[in-house]
Amino acid sequence: MTESFEALLEESLAQQELKPGTIVTGTIMEIRDDTVVVNAGLKSEGIVPIVQFKNLQGELEVEVGDEVQVALDTLEDGFGETRLSRDKAKRALVWDKLETAFDGEETVEGKISGKVKGGFTVDIEDIRAFLPGSLVDVRPVRDPTYLEGKDLEFK
């Protein structure tokens, strides 16, 4: 084997299209007070704000050694750090899932989370969508409060 590790690393990195928004899989290396350090196979380890790894109750959902998908935010932020985003990766993956469901004419499950002018907001995993009021039922709905918080299927 005549290739050096450095040459192999450079070749591996060259094959990846490293631009903001690219989704990569990484391993959690360290959990700090306000950030999580992720090794995503890049030249340096990346950091993600810790709030992106907390659930609605504020509990940490991951631990050191877990594999996570993250999106490249900035490769170099001026301080020599690579910034990654778990939220952007989750949204991109859900968006791909929604596009696949749309193309396949499948339904997706969502929860009506609130009323806005002209309709409702619907939470579909990590994406907030708009449901026009005219599409809620075949006839106009006078009191839509019974719909809020309900899990429904959408097409």
Distance CA 52, CA 28 (A): 13
Question: What CATH number was assigned to the domain covering residues 5-91?
Answer: 2.40.50.140
Q: What is the pLDDT of residue 89?
A: 92
Distance CA 68, CA 53 (A): 10
Distance CA 73, CA 148 (A): 34
Q: What is the pLDDT of residue 38?
A: 93
- For residues 36 and 30, the answer to whether their CB atoms sit within 8 Å is yes
Average pLDDT (11-21) is: 64
Q: What is the pLDDT of residue 21?
A: 82
Per-residue pLDDT tens for 105-125? 999 999 988 888 888 889 988
Q: Which of residues 73 and 18 earns the better pLDDT score?
A: 73
Distance CA 98, CA 32 (A): 34
CATH 2.40.50.140 placement within the chain? 5-91
pLDDT mean across residues, the chain:
83
